[in-house]
Chains A and B, each alone.
Chain A
Amino acid sequence: MSQLDGQHVLEVRDLQKSYRDGQGRFEVLDGLDLTLDRGEFTCILGRSGSGKSTLLKCIAGLEDYDGGEILGNTNEIGYVFQEDRLLNWKTVDGNLRIALESEGVPKAEHDERIERYLDLVDLAKNADDYPLTLSGGMRQRVSIARALVIEPEILLMDEPFSSLDEITARDLRKRFLDILTELDQSVLFVTHNATEAAFLAETIVVLEHEPPAEVKTVIDNPLPYPRDIDSEEVQSLKREIISYI
């Protein structure tokens, strides 16, 4: 965990992972390399089943890997899942508080942090509501606030907008980008949506479509924030990305 140079918050070297299935071993990751700079927003783009979610799970420590190494402070990770994964029996406030308690954030800071991050996702008024009384988009915003409230070194996001309807997803992407530019957060974002990648990321890592996951190409996206998802630049970048997948 120590040989990381100052610029990088995460380095994945030669990562290997396979599952056992009926016919033998099935390679999901075979020597994958990846780096994430401090404050950088990187999208990993690949088709369903290309091993991108497995990569995130390995980084978060949810799955063991067979070979290679992951360098970085992986204890300080915020995670936004495809589903909101909120505890429905706790209020919005309670869902954030339990994350703070578990991550050992001093109690004195809890109230202030919860207020700040709920405000950031525009849900300050809903602190005492139960998740099931909120809409899908609001719940996903709570889950983003939960990941941010612990002020993680790395934010991992696994297709967080893909289970929402397109109008809500559009709105949420825009809000989310505003928040991130304010926080200077390092983000690793997995998606299969080329427009989403072109709109959000500074670096886009395109994976091979068939597993095992290998990096096919890396595209830099120098467009300044704030961006417009319907602009010609974003759309032409999207076409470039699609040409690789």
Chain B
Amino acid sequence: MTDTPPLALDDVSLTLPSAAGPVEILRGLSLTLAHGERMALVGPSGSGKSSLIAVAAGLERPTAGTVRLFGQDLGRLDEDGRARLRRGRVGLVFQAFHLLPNMTAEENVAAPMEIARRPDAMAEARAWLDRVGLGARLRHYPHQLSGGEQQRVALARALAPSPALIFADEPTGNLDSKNARHVADLLFELVEHTGAALLMVTHDPALAHRAQRVVTLRDGRPEAAAEAA
């Protein structure tokens, strides 16, 4: 493991066009995530939390500032270069799950490993689905699974390639409280197990407090940073 942090944002701004004129989403935001660190991003709706994840994961280009993922300046990479950088090293969990609807649970989990050309993709996918308690649901399609089950598949898909960094955008936002608790437990247990760093957006204070650091965003800027208890 090198000293380079998996993620470093320096003076990042994001302005997006809208019908009513440009909207400033992120304003000069700087942030570093250390290896194995678990950070929660909280803040009111529209404060730029999800946009921060999109920019940090290289899904969206910032208007200004530098994003370094595993030491690489994303500004110097094109979309394909950023996709290749994510391969096998970055896991993503979304509030809306975003499972591939025409692929089974097993294929969904295997997809990032297949893209990373791992020959053991299917075996590894089956093992991970077993770990999240869905060993009996390998051949089920997303629409045949409950919301909680879908998010567990999404967790397995994010973690199976053993990434060094996980981005989770409201991972429990679409779940009832029981399922939310189960998925949160699973997320933290697995992240701890793999040693991956975690940047998680949440509205749930209880979930945020399970992170080591909580950053509150307001109007696209960090309001305060505090060590979790």
Pairing of A with B: no
